[in-house]
Amino acid sequence: MTNEDLEQELRAANANRAILYYLIFDELRRAHGEVEAATIMKAAIYRRGVETAKPIKQFAPDRIKELGEYHVAHSAGGGRIFNPEVKRLDDQGFEVLNTTCPLKEAWQAYGLTDAEVAKMCDIGSAIDYGKFEGAGFRFECETWTPDKRGCCTLKAYPGK
């Protein structure tokens, strides 16, 4: 299997995850309303993010520059899946724009409206909140909106 084949499989796996997120959200929304559905989805996705935090805990609470270097070096598919663009990398903050996102692209290809894609990006960002907060950092995520280039901007800062 070639690297290109592996990359395509990784993209397909992320697209599948995106569609599952949407279908689960849609079923929850029908049963419990949009607010409750989003709350439940975010809680579950956040929990999974916390479970994935172990590799970056070594940098907590304040080795931000090393955290950023590690994050970019370990970006999915050698960086070709999310194509991270570092906006800031110093001792006080790490900010990276994911210029591409297979989840966002899958939601768009599935036919979701821009508003629905933005909602799903917000819900999906819970995994990053769980990962970075679970490791001991302060974290913010600027999720995608229709007027934004790329996708989400992840922002990590020293924790307490």
What does the pLDDT look like over 128-160, one tens digit per residue?
999 999 999 999 999 999 999 999 999 999 998
Flag whether pLDDT at 8 surpasses 90. Answer: yes
Element (H, E) at 58: none
What secondary structure letter does DSSP report for 36? H
Q: For 63-90, what is the mean pLDDT?
A: 97
Domains of the chain: 3-157 (3.30.1380.20)
- For residue 84, whether the previous peptide bond is cis, meaning omega lies within 30 degrees of 0, is no
Q: Cα–Cα distance between 151 and 67 in angstroms, integer? A: 20
